[in-house]
Amino acid sequence: MRKLAVVAFGGNALLKAGQKGTIEEQEANALSASRNLLKLMKNKYNLVLTHGNGPQVGNILLANSAGFKEHGIPEMPLDISVAYSQGFIGYLLEQQLRNVLRNNDMERDIISIITQVLVNKDDPAFENPTKPIGPYFPEQEALEMMKDGNTVFKEDKARGGWRKVVASPEPLVIFNMRSIEKIANDGNIVIAVGGGGVPCFYKKENTLQGIDAVIDKDLASALLATQIHASKLFILTDVPKVCLNFNTPQEKSLDRISIAQAKKYLAEGQFGAGSMAPKIQAAINFVVRSGNDAIITESSRLGIDNGGTRITIV
């Protein structure tokens, strides 16, 4: 009997800091990420993969802006850019994962699903943008871009730079979740909820419309994992374990923490609002709702005993 796991890749797993974002770079990163999934598949897991899109959707927006300024090409709203990113990241992951499977004498269908996620248009997040997207900028350049009054940048002191931030409303409903669960439990690999899903709301009864936002992919992944009855949630990031006092001389990595400890550290402000805090909150959400464990780690440590930080009920 196979178990079902949701594996949430960060956008930085496919486009790393300092890279230009060429297709060759992202293909190589997708190949590396795909190889790291082999351990889970050999451990009899069915897989639903989710992914971030912060670097990619930021670059899409920059290309939109340049196209409008140079050629008058109409700019697309943020929800459309999220859908763009779902398509091309899903394609990259699917292709490289298929290469890995065939090179290891394994065969599974891989299905990418463009996923819409319902949000509340009155969510207070729209009054306080916090979700970082796109590349890092020097302070002066970020301040210059904020002069238009419509763009907000915030400093990420841990990583040394300024990033654009947008609204990140809470995910409420993930569309097509029953199909995602069935397809995955039939032994296929599903790629869904890319970038946290395309945010939408009901403009009026029975009429959906997109909205300018980026849903946190870890919170959306935790909601999806709960709704499809996953036995485990893996949240992947660029560090092997969650740390207290991150990037200081007092840094301490955590092997295992309970829900109570996770809530305590979160309340103390141990985790960055735009980086580790949403991952911890997502893990808490999944563990509380499902009773199953969540693991936060880097992709190279998937399937390794004590390979990350495990969040448990007690």
Taking domain 3-118+172-312, whether its CATH number is 3.40.50.10420 is answered by no
Q: How far is Cα 57 from Cα 23, in angstroms, rounded to an integer?
A: 14
Per-domain residue ranges of the chain: 3-118+172-312
* Residues acting as catalytic residues: 11-12, 131, 217, 279
For 34-99, the DSSP string reads HHTTHHHHHTTEEEEEEE--HHHHHHHHHHHHHHHHHH-PPPPPHHHHHHHHHHHHHHHHHHHHHH
Residue 83 to residue 274: CA distance in whole angstroms: 22
What φ, ψ does residue 40 adopt, rounded to 5°? -65, -40
- Give the separation between CA 37 and CA 51, rounded to whole angstroms: 14
pLDDT in tens, the chain (314 residues): 789 999 999 877 777 777 888 889 989 988 998 999 998 998 899 999 999 988 888 888 888 888 888 999 998 889 999 999 999 999 999 999 999 999 999 999 999 999 999 999 999 999 988 888 877 888 898 898 888 777 888 888 767 788 888 899 999 999 999 999 999 999 999 999 999 999 999 999 999 999 989 999 999 999 999 999 999 999 998 889 999 999 899 999 999 999 999 999 999 999 987 689 999 999 999 999 999 999 999 888 887 777 799 999 99
CB 200, CB 209: distance < 8 Å: yes
Structure-token pair, residue 94: 């699917």
The DSSP-derived string for 82-107 is HHHHHHHHHHHHHHHHHHHHHHTT--
- Residue 306, φ and ψ in degrees, nearest 5: 55, 35
Q: Is the whole model's pTM more than 0.85, yes or no?
A: yes
Q: Are 99 and 34 in contact (CB under 8 A)?
A: yes
